[in-house]
Amino acid sequence: MIDQKKIKDAIRLLLEGIGEDVNREGLIETPDRIARMYEEICGGMEEDAATHLSKVFHVDTNEMVMEKDITFYSTCEHHMLPFYGKVHIAYIPDGKVVGLSKLARTVEVYARRLQLQEQLTGQIADALMTHMQPKGVMVMIEAEHMCMTMRGIQKPGTQTVTIARRGDFESNPALEERFFRMLGR
């Protein structure tokens, strides 16, 4: 559960710590705004992917299903700065599929937490394997990290790419090739 009071107190201390006047007109409501913002951007902490992946539809096919270019925004747990980009998901059904919006909702469950991109990629793949029980899953994330763009090395436009393969995608290189062809790469 997100503790709004603790967040507000922490933001007031942060503002004081950087030398700001917490009673300045532009900052008076900032602790409230930040507390509401964190309730939104960390809302995935209280969600479970099973909620979204439990509604399945039975099918007679086992052909690859892909949803690509799912936009996401997350927050790096190291610097608490945003990282954002695209998620591409493919899976091989084993008699059942989920509604396409459920894949995007699953991305949101894990993206709306303090996160590492590498961990996010695996969490999405593992959730699909656990709750849908497909023959295989592949997840690829391409993201830009503000901790590399606006601080530190300051290299805007740098993309970090992570991949998680599960099931048939681990043992069948042809499926991975098809995944990249479908992505247009």
Q: Which of 52, 76, 88, 131 is catalytic?
A: 76
Instruction: Assess whether 147 carries a catalytic annotation.
Output: yes
Q: Which of 52, 88, 131, 145 is catalytic?
A: 145
Q: How far is CA 62 from the centre of its chain?
A: 26
Q: Which of 4, 20, 79, 142 is catalytic?
A: 79
Do 164 and 120 meet the contact criterion of CB atoms below 8 Å apart?
no
Instruction: Assess whether 88 carries a catalytic annotation.
Output: no
Q: Which of 119, 144, 147, 176 is catalytic?
A: 147
Calpha distance 127→104 (Å, rounded): 12
Q: Which of 77, 118, 159, 177 is catalytic?
A: 77
Instruction: Assess whether 117 carries a catalytic annotation.
Output: yes
Instruction: Assess whether 145 carries a catalytic annotation.
Output: yes
Instruction: Assess whether 79 carries a catalytic annotation.
Output: yes
Instruction: Assess whether 77 carries a catalytic annotation.
Output: yes
Instruction: Assess whether 58 carries a catalytic annotation.
Output: no
> Following DSSP, what letter does each residue of 106-157 receive, concatenated?
HHHHHHSSEE-HHHHHHHHHHHHHHHH--SEEEEEEEEEEHHHHTSTT--TT
Show which residues are catalytic: 76-79, 117, 145, 147
